[in-house]
Amino acid sequence: MFLNKLKLVFFFIQTINQSICVDLNNITREDIQTLEMEYPNIHQVILQQHPYYIQSRNEVLFCPLPYSHVVDDEDIPYEEGLEIINKTLTLVVSRCVNKKNYKLAYTIFLNAIESMVFTFMYRFCEFAIEMNEQLAEISFYLKNFSGKLAELIPIINREWISPEPHECILDVYKNHKSKEFKFNKFNINYKNALLNCMKLMEDKVHFLKEPNNISMNNMAVSDLERYCNMSYNFIEYRLFLAHNSTLFKYITGDIYQRKCFGCNKYSSGDSGIYFFSPCGHGWSCERCVKKIEACPVCNELITSTQGLNIQTSVSIVRESI
């Protein structure tokens, strides 16, 4: 139930207490300026060649949209002649703005955020696997990761980044028990569960140049700990919301936004709004939710429904650690 509530929050928290409105189909220069002010330390990251974020089809480069929901477009063509590789994010975005291609600029910026979030989680999974194979305790690092994940979730929520990877990690530490969360006894099932989480992210990691991007295989424990700290410090500095930024964003342009699948009417607020489990799609009004057996978006059978509840917190490690 806890994870189901988290999933609903990840998908729909941006529709409550809105103070920023962004139309995905009509991005403006002001939207980009707002985004730049909200993430002041990410501007100087360097973009790298990437098979997902820089897709080539018929000799044309495309930029995929990062949004978890279906929108009118699946991707956007890059500007002809736009230099991306080994260029700073701020330079690439400013060149798109100069061409008045605001949607491309906005999407590149969000892709950088998405890749940084996923790379951080991916690196932690790598670290946890290697530490477990070497029978080394990770409780301290797991607590740090849990705290940082709690800070990243508002960013994931508001930018519509897929919640699946961190839901997967939450499931791992819910389903695999370890005394005092040390995880210092080798467990092949624990390892495979973390590998499954990594598969959810592997296509989207390493879009940004990191200080050191090296394999953790066969590292000594001291080197693993040092590398984990470096990864943590990198994300700690680069990715955070400015203090005056709202945690909520009202996003339009979603085909399925706020529309009851049963009566085809739009909701006027958060009362009487229900989502489907386990897929997490919605909306449905209180009257129609009892009539729908399968999700109209993904056709997955509905096992339960959940009213909108945005009060939640995330913690993997117990307070006593």
CB 243: neighbour CB atoms within 10 A?
Answer: 5
* Residue 312: per-residue pLDDT: 38
CA atoms within a 13 Å half-sphere pointing along the CA-CB vector of 181: 20
Per-residue pLDDT for the chain (321 aa), expressed as one digit of tens each? 334 444 444 444 433 443 577 887 789 999 999 999 999 999 999 999 999 999 998 889 999 987 655 455 678 899 999 999 999 999 999 999 999 999 999 999 999 999 999 999 999 999 999 999 999 999 999 999 999 998 898 888 788 888 889 989 999 998 998 877 889 999 999 999 999 999 999 999 999 998 777 778 888 899 899 988 888 888 888 988 888 887 777 666 655 455 676 776 655 444 466 777 776 666 678 788 888 888 776 667 888 776 654 433 445 665 444
CA dihedral 182, 186, 192, 198 (to 10 degrees): 50
Which residues fall within 8 angstroms of residue 208, CB to CB, at 6 or more apart?
45, 46, 47, 48, 89, 112, 115, 116, 119
Peptide bond just before 154 cis, omega within 30 deg: no
* Residue 90: per-residue pLDDT: 97
